[in-house]
Amino acid sequence: MTTGNGSTTAQLITKHRPTLDRALDAIRTREFWTPHPEHPKAYGEGAPEEGKAAFDALRGSRFEVPGQPVSGEWTATEVSPYGLEMGISYPRTDEGAIDALLPVMSGGLPGWRQAGPEGRAAVCLEILARISARTHEFAQAVMHTSGQAFMMAFQAGGPHAQDRGMEAVAYAYAEQTRTPERAVWEKPQGKRDPLRVTKEFTAAGRGIALLIGCNTFPTWNGFPGFFASLATGNAVLVKPHPRAVLPLALTVRIAREVLAEAGFAADLVALAAEAEGDGIAKNLATRPEIKVIDYTGGSAFGEWLEANARQAQVHTEKSGVNTVLLDSTDDYAGMLSNLAFSLSLYSGQMCTTPQNLLIPAGGVATDAGHKSYDEVVADLGAAVSKLLGDDARANALLGAIVGDQVRERLESASSLGEVALPSRAVENPEFPDATVRTPAIVKLDAAKPEAEAGYLAECFGPVSFAVAVGSTEDALTLLRRTLREKGAMTVAAYTTSAEVERQVEEVCFDESAQLSLNLTGGVYVNQTAGFSDFHGSGGNPAANCTLCDGAFVAGRFRVVEVRRMAAS
Amino acid sequence: MTTGNGSTTAQLITKHRPTLDRALDAIRTREFWTPHPEHPKAYGEGAPEEGKAAFDALRGSRFEVPGQPVSGEWTATEVSPYGLEMGISYPRTDEGAIDALLPVMSGGLPGWRQAGPEGRAAVCLEILARISARTHEFAQAVMHTSGQAFMMAFQAGGPHAQDRGMEAVAYAYAEQTRTPERAVWEKPQGKRDPLRVTKEFTAAGRGIALLIGCNTFPTWNGFPGFFASLATGNAVLVKPHPRAVLPLALTVRIAREVLAEAGFAADLVALAAEAEGDGIAKNLATRPEIKVIDYTGGSAFGEWLEANARQAQVHTEKSGVNTVLLDSTDDYAGMLSNLAFSLSLYSGQMCTTPQNLLIPAGGVATDAGHKSYDEVVADLGAAVSKLLGDDARANALLGAIVGDQVRERLESASSLGEVALPSRAVENPEFPDATVRTPAIVKLDAAKPEAEAGYLAECFGPVSFAVAVGSTEDALTLLRRTLREKGAMTVAAYTTSAEVERQVEEVCFDESAQLSLNLTGGVYVNQTAGFSDFHGSGGNPAANCTLCDGAFVAGRFRVVEVRRMAAS
């Protein structure tokens, strides 16, 4: 049994315990905190160039995962949305490789269990520290798989993702240590001696966890499940999206190095790369050895997992329809610029991007006077156009369209209603092959039944709907229906009325949706901060879990009690 | 909206906060604690008679649930295992009644949400306090529905069940208050003003919870889910087992009284009684309004719920096969008497009763010399016979057989193997119609394939199998297989070998089972204590949850965040 190198683990605990304590404090107070600097310059002189060079060195080569049982076949499936030649081959995980791999992964579990919650947390934080040191390399990897613009790939794929991973480690540690390691239970028996029982409580992982990665946020959406499962004593098999393998493959390799250095089985973490069309996730997800699953992606496969992977704890982030309710505002310009940014960021390719803007047909009251529905839509379009008027700035905000499906969806959006703001193709001088598009705004009239095909379906990408509703009351009704039937990762509302605020809140409480009110400055509805904001609620059809809370980690392990009579 | 009477709720908080704090401390330390006295005399002079009189007054009458929407039909389905005439009619809940009831229940949710975690905990503790004050009445109700002997019905159905309910309230409170009610998030922006966001976090229940009660432990198994759901802001619809309605019907009526007095909607708790064969649980469980389910009972329906009630958080305690591994002992007599008690208590009609006693065919080493397999089986049979030799004591331990299925299972057990200890019918002078049976022990040889039909199926009731295994190593292998395939609520082992102890522990860690080692005194494998022991692990096929931990409560509510820009 690989039981870990006690002195190495002790050193890691000494090194990372203060950070863990600070993270535990942050999830309790939910005040701002991060140990991961957001600015690229904070990573040292030369770091950008070194990161880029490391990334370039990986391109056109075989990505080895030393020591992991492999099939001998290789697969290269990544296509940079920026048109950069990737050509990175990964070990292809076929059925035979899986059969060989899973028992080896399970073999590491007893030693990992013995490390205890603190030892596992320290190993996880060391993995995160090494990832953090390579943030520039990860930024390139995320940029050229997701199509995010560099700064977003750097921040969301780097420090923000690392925050989410560390947050999961903190929750995992807190959850596992709610029960003491041992207790003496002494029950009075009247005049007789008391009954005395010693009880030992061990947090035991469930087995092998499967992480099914996504194309758009491989690290940000992948790290929470990865670290939550690992920190609670599971092995983790990482199955990246075929178009976004590298960020998670790097993660796997770093994790294996840290585990081995600390004396644990490197195979506690393994990579399952596949060729396009292999579809190994479906087979893996129902294997009896797989006890925990984390998935980010479309609703159809997410619902399939929930229905079929019955042997596992299944955590899904699927798709939803995000709503902004516009009732009134005392900062019309601030509202417009805030919304324009939210619609534009990463071309709306975020699960948190607003889709439906519910605007009373009779218009809204603003500090700039009453604005008709048409005026609001036109002004919002103008705000978007102004924000993205400069191509350099547009490229820096929009990034690239991640794939053909999104482009096709954008192109067919005009069939759904009158286009109030057409999408514009933007040239990217650095990457001429990148598909860069500004967001489109399409008008829909909620009074018309055919409009439902637009506003009651997720339209992932740079399309939003300006939905004319009869009144704010109608908007609340539609918001409730949308949340109940389609779910949402985010809800936003603009109102100067305390009563409307209360009503929107009640709908969000009833239907379990996260609400941002009257955002006008530099905080956007589609962004959440680790240690403070909840990402999704886990209580509506968009996701069955939230990042991050007790429920996200509590099912990943069980507490096994061993009791013995004690001498009285 | 019924938003609660602030001053009443405040009074309840003042009254119960010290108890809540003590309970929170107990679940952290897991040391012995209970606020519910175990001795019948502790409830005051005259309490036994008053409880009995209250119970007798209910018999032969209609059990009204004042204010609850009902169908107008009545149903009486209870049959005392002691032969006492019950004749209690309950409002029959047909489809029409459900359609009327669910919206009314939902109507109370916003007010209940506003009460907050502390207010809800206080209301729940007041309900428990009133139940506690009527423990003698509950004891009669549990005795004459489950067939438990009086003392067990009193203790397990009274104080121990109340402990489990309070434990759930404590976990619910702790879980909901891990996130603060509000936070100010202030992110530095270099030379610019920091971003400041105020965040409010509200614990919001999921909706209506459904409690599906069981026949044998209506309160002990029912209270955890009932109070966990109520304390986390849900309404609770109680669907008792048709043979054990009264204990939960009393609970519903008390809860409604307390809720109404505190200014909340009484219909936050409601009773769904059915006629034999109505099978309303299946329809209720898949209604979209039902968001949480707690179920105790057979595996078939439990697995059906897990597969089909996809809209709900489903908590199940099903059936398993509990194992005792006998390797060696330094207290042979103590082991035998401890096991004899465990096999006899409530005629083995506990989900925690040992079923398979794995004994090496070559015998075991003991402080009384080496004992062959046959000797161990004979000595255990003798210990049971001695324990139950006196009819009065036998009646006090065994209680009555709860129903025909258990009796038939016992009668057919002799077909499975050689009967080492035959079951004996015991006369009950007070209740001549009661079916009272001592436990049977049947020999099985693990080397024979046909023996699997015995030891790899749950045989609920007073039957256990003395399974001859080749060696302790074989026993460990069979234990692992049994846990993986059938699950278990309990595992026990007797050994003087530190190595065997370690091996049994490893199996239990790997397969997530709760282990008791070398119990010889007054602590029994089939008993667990609230606030200290975990009941089941939630990690093997016997149950998907444990009583009680964070996971048991964490999915019953979601935290809804509302964020606003703050003045900088």
Predicted confidence pLDDT, tens digits, chain B (568 residues): 566 788 899 999 999 999 999 999 999 999 999 999 999 999 999 999 999 999 999 999 999 999 999 989 999 999 999 999 999 999 999 999 999 999 999 999 999 999 999 999 999 999 999 999 999 999 999 999 999 999 999 999 999 999 999 999 999 999 999 999 999 999 999 899 999 999 999 999 999 999 999 999 999 999 999 999 999 999 999 999 999 999 999 999 999 999 999 999 999 999 999 999 999 999 999 999 999 999 999 999 999 999 999 999 999 999 999 999 999 999 999 999 999 999 999 999 999 999 999 999 999 999 999 999 999 999 999 999 999 999 999 999 999 999 999 999 999 998 999 999 999 999 999 999 999 999 999 999 999 999 999 999 999 999 999 999 999 999 999 999 999 999 999 999 999 999 999 999 999 999 999 999 999 989 999 999 999 999 999 999 999 999 999 999 999 999 999 999 987 5
Q: Are A244 and A567 in contact (CB under 8 A)?
A: no
CB contact under 8 A, B561 and A513: no
Residues forming a β-bridge with A366: A329
Residues in CB range of B86: below 8 A, 6 or more apart: B59, B60, B76, B78, B79, B80, B144, B246
Q: Are B163 and A10 in contact (CB under 8 A)?
A: no
Q: Give the position of tokens 């997800």.
A: A285
Q: Chain B residues with CB inside 8 Å of A202's CB?
A: 509
Q: Give the position of tokens 């240690």.
A: A531
In this predicted structure, what is the pLDDT of residue B311? 95
- Tell me the three state secondary structure of residue A215: coil
Q: Chain A residues with CB inside 8 Å of B199's CB?
A: 30, 532-533
Q: Chain A residues with CB inside 8 Å of B312's CB?
A: none
Residue in A318, A406, A321, A320 with CA at minimum distance from that of residue A358 = A321
Q: Are B217 and B247 in contact (CB under 8 A)?
A: no
Q: Are A546 and A552 in contact (CB under 8 A)?
A: yes
Q: Using N-to-C axis directions, what is the helix angle for B116-133 and B6-29, rounded to 10°?
A: 80
Q: Which of B25, B193, B545, B565 to mutate to test the interface with A (most CBs of A within 10 A)?
A: B565
Distance of CA B301 to the CA centre of its chain: 17
Q: How far apart are CA A390 and CA A438, in angstroms?
A: 12
Q: Chain A residues with CB inside 8 Å of B113's CB?
A: 509
Q: What average pLDDT score do residues A221-248 get?
A: 98
The residues spanned by each domain of chain B are: 59-176+203-318, 323-517
Q: Are A542 and A488 in contact (CB under 8 A)?
A: yes
CA distance A96 to chain B (A): 24
Q: Most distant CA pair in chain A: distance in Å?
A: 88
Residue in B265, B252, B8 with CA at minimum distance from that of residue B119 = B8
Q: Give the position of tokens 């039937």.
A: A485
Identify which of A31, A187, A537 has the shortest CB distance to residue B183: A31
Distance of CA A535 to the CA centre of its chain: 8
Q: What average pLDDT score do residues A216-241 get?
A: 98
Q: What are phi and psi of B356, to 5 degrees?
A: -100, 120
* C-alpha distance from residue A493 to each of A286, A456, B513 (Å): 41, 18, 49
In this predicted structure, what is the pLDDT of residue B568? 55
Q: What is the CATH number of domain B323-517?
A: 3.40.309.10
Q: Chain A residues with CB inside 8 Å of B25's CB?
A: none
In this predicted structure, what is the pLDDT of residue A75? 98
Residue in B263, B287, B288, B289 with CA at minimum distance from that of residue B106 = B289
Amino acid letter, residue A45: E
DSSP track, B334-395: HHHHHHHHHHHGGGG-STTS--EEEEETT-BEETT--B-HHHHHHHHHHHHHHHT-SHHHHH
Q: What is the DSSP letter of B371?
A: B
First to last CA, chain B: 36
In this predicted structure, what is the pLDDT of residue A2? 59
Which pairs from A300-305 meet CB under 8 Å and 24+ separation? A305/A212
DSSP track, A308-375: H-TTSEEEEE-----EEEE-EES-HHHHHHHHHHHHHGGGG-STTS--EEEEETT-BEETT--B-HHH
Q: What is the band of A1 on the pLDDT scale with cuts at 50, 70, 90?
A: low
Q: Which of B32, B494, B544, B558 to mutate to test the interface with A (most CBs of A within 10 A)?
A: B558
Opening angle at CA A221, ends A395 and A128, nearest 5:
100
- Tell me the three state secondary structure of residue B447: coil
Residues forming a β-bridge with B565: B197
DSSP track, B477-504: HHHHHHHHHT--S-EEEE-S-HHHHHHH
Q: What is the DSSP letter of A173?
A: H
CA distance A4 to chain B (A): 17
In this predicted structure, what is the pLDDT of residue A290? 98
CB contact under 8 A, B550 and A32: no
Q: Give the position of tokens 């719920």.
A: B305
Residue A408 CB neighbours (<10 A): 12
Q: What is the pLDDT of residues A442-501, one digit of tens each?
A: 999 999 999 999 999 999 999 999 999 999 999 999 999 999 999 999 999 999 999 999
Q: Chain A residues with CB inside 8 Å of B197's CB?
A: 523
In this predicted structure, what is the pLDDT of residue B392? 97
In this predicted structure, what is the pLDDT of residue B331? 98
* C-alpha distance from residue A310 to each of A83, A93, B250, B318 (Å): 40, 23, 36, 16
Identify which of A183, A505, A520 has the shortest CB distance to residue B30: A183
In this predicted structure, what is the pLDDT of residue B510? 97
Give yes or no for residue A565 having a pLDDT over 60: yes
- Tell me the three state secondary structure of residue A67: coil
| Pairing of the two strands A323-326 and A491-494 | parallel
Q: How far apart are CA A307 and CA B301, in angstroms?
A: 17
CB contact under 8 A, B561 and A533: yes
CB contact under 8 A, A517 and B564: yes
Mean pLDDT, rounded, of chain A: 97
- Closest-approach residue (CA) in chain A for B1: A506
Q: What is the pLDDT of residues A428-446, one digit of tens each?
A: 999 999 999 999 999 999 9
Amino acid letter, residue B36: H
CB contact under 8 A, A520 and B199: no
Q: What average pLDDT score do residues A85-96 get?
A: 96
CA distance B341 to chain A (A): 16
* C-alpha distance from residue A19 to each of A33, A170, A219, A222, A324 (Å): 11, 10, 21, 21, 37
Q: What are phi and psi of B133, to 5 degrees?
A: -65, -20
Backbone angle region of A348, left / alpha / beta, with phi > 0 → left and psi within -120 to 50 → alpha: left
CA distance B423 to chain A (A): 30
Up-side HSE of residue B346: CA atoms within 13 Å toward CB? 27
The reply to whether domains A6-318+547-565 and A323-517 share a CATH topology is no
Residue in B7, B546, B475 with CA at minimum distance from that of residue B263 = B7
Q: Which of B24, B32, B330, B481 to mutate to test the interface with A (most CBs of A within 10 A)?
A: B32
- Closest-approach residue (CA) in chain A for B199: A533
In this predicted structure, what is the pLDDT of residue A411? 93
Q: What are phi and psi of B273, to 5 degrees?
A: -95, 150
Residues in CB range of B200: below 8 A, 6 or more apart: B181, B182, B561, B562, B563
CA dihedral A395, A400, A406, A408 (to 10 degrees): 80
Q: Is the domain defined by B59-176+203-318 classed in CATH 3.40.640.10? A: no
**What's the full length of chain A, in residues?**
568
Residue in B276, B280, B258 with CA at minimum distance from that of residue B268 = B258
Q: What is the pLDDT of residues A276-323, one digit of tens each?
A: 999 999 999 999 999 999 999 999 999 999 999 999 999 999 999 999
Give the 3-state secondary structure of A382-420.
HHHHHHCCCHHHHHHHHCCCCCHHHHHHHHHHHHCCEEE
Identify which of A180, A306, A564 has the shortest CB distance to residue B29: A180
Q: What average pLDDT score do residues A218-242 get?
A: 98
In this predicted structure, what is the pLDDT of residue B308? 96
Q: Are B237 and B209 in contact (CB under 8 A)?
A: yes
Q: Is the domain defined by A6-318+547-565 classed in CATH 3.30.2090.10? A: no
Residue in B562, B568, B567, B556 with CA at minimum distance from that of residue B228 = B556
Give yes or no for residue A420 having a pLDDT over 90: yes
Q: What is the number of CB-based contacts under 8 A between chain A and chain B?
A: 191
In this predicted structure, what is the pLDDT of residue B5? 81
- Tell me the three state secondary structure of residue B228: helix
CB contact under 8 A, A30 and B183: yes
Residue in B216, B237, B354, B217 with CA at minimum distance from that of residue B292 = B237
In this predicted structure, what is the pLDDT of residue A568? 55
Q: What are phi and psi of A499, to 5 degrees?
A: -70, -45
CA dihedral B401, B406, B412, B418 (to 10 degrees): -70
Residue in B58, B53, B48 with CA at minimum distance from that of residue B86 = B58
- Closest-approach residue (CA) in chain B for A517: B564
CB contact under 8 A, A509 and B199: no
